[in-house]
Structure 1
Amino acid sequence: MLQAEDWVAVAFLILMGVFAYFGVHRTLLKALDHRRDRIKAELDDARRLKEEAAKLVAEYRARRASAEREAEEIVANARADAERIAAEARTKMEDFVTRRTKSAESKIAMAEAQALADVRAAAAEAAASAAGAILSQSVKGKINEDLVGNSIQDLRQKLN
């Protein structure tokens, strides 16, 4: 008589025979092949995505390096422009101060000349008046008037 284990073995062999008769093994193999192809496609996609990501990372790193270089150039240009503007402002300020100093010096010189001319004119006027007074007291008549007039004219011309 057959034992329980023997019946299990017989049932297993019958089951395998039925599977072989209906082609279940082909269906299983197709399913496994299909799964293998799908996994392979997913791995290929993953590999392609990884390569694209690596390219993007390299591209972004290059862009960042370019942006950093550009920023450094902008900062350097801004510094150079600031230094140039400061130098121009310094030069303009020095020119302005020089012009103002020359203008002030010329105004002072003109004021001195005017003051000297005013003093000379006042002195000439005072001298002419004094000479006229002295001559009018010492000489009388028509000679006096001609002499005083001529003397005053001469004195004015010489002092001015």
Structure 2
Amino acid sequence: MLGSEYTWITLALFIFFALVFWKGFRPILRSLDNRAERIRKELDEAQTLREDAQKMLAEYKRKQRDALKEADEIVAHAKAEAERLRKSAEADLEASLKRREELAMAKIEQAELTAINEVRNQAVDVAVAAAAKLIAQQVDDKKAEELTSSAIRDVAQRLN
């Protein structure tokens, strides 16, 4: 048995494993422990990052809901303001149209009064001209002097 090469190879292999186990097992275990600790820390850090990301996601979703709610409120306020402005514009337009109508009616009345006064003045002018023509045809010089003196007396009495 000791003369066989397989025995010596097997014995050398056991000695080799014994030396490796004796000298190398602790550093290998230490290396594995360090790696396991590093992986554990990375997992903890990943878990912390995941929790932070979930918190941030929840916060952004809340902010998005708040922003949508605020946008809806702004739109509702804008619609209400637009309706108020529309009603105000309608009222202003109606008041402006009423003022313009009143102004037009006043101008029409003024034009009527002016036209009536012009017609009266022309009628008076025509009547005076006709009366002057009739008087000139029917009144002689003596009667004209009497009428003139009478008119002067009347004017003098009315002025005093």
TM category (shorter chain) comes to 0.7 to 0.9
Report deviation, 1:138. 2.5
Listed as ranges, the gaps of 5+ residues in structure 2 are 155-160
Unaligned 5+ runs, structure 1: 154-160
1:2-35 deviations in Å (ceiling 9; x for gaps) = 666654542333223323543x222122111111
Residue 14 of structure 1 is matched in structure 2 by 15
| Distance in 2 of aligned mates of 1:119 and 1:37 | 119
The aligned runs of 1:3-152 (5 Å cut-off) are: 6-22=7-23, 24-144=24-144, 147=147, 150=151
Q: What CA distance in whole angstroms lies between the structure 1 residues aligned with 2:11 and 2:62?
A: 70
* SS of corresponding position for 1:98: helix
Give the TM-score, by structure 2 length. 0.78
Residue 50 of structure 1: CA displacement? 0.5
1:156 alignment partner in structure 2: none
Please tell me the residue identity of whatever aligns with 1:15. Answer: F
Q: CA deviation at 1:36?
A: 1.1
The 2-side partners of 1:7 and 1:114 are apart by 147
**Identical pairs, percent:** 37
Q: Distance in 1 between matches of 2:85 and 2:43?
A: 62
Shift of the alpha carbon at 1:72?
A: 1.9
RCO higher in 1 or 2 (8 Å CA, sep ≥ 6)? 1
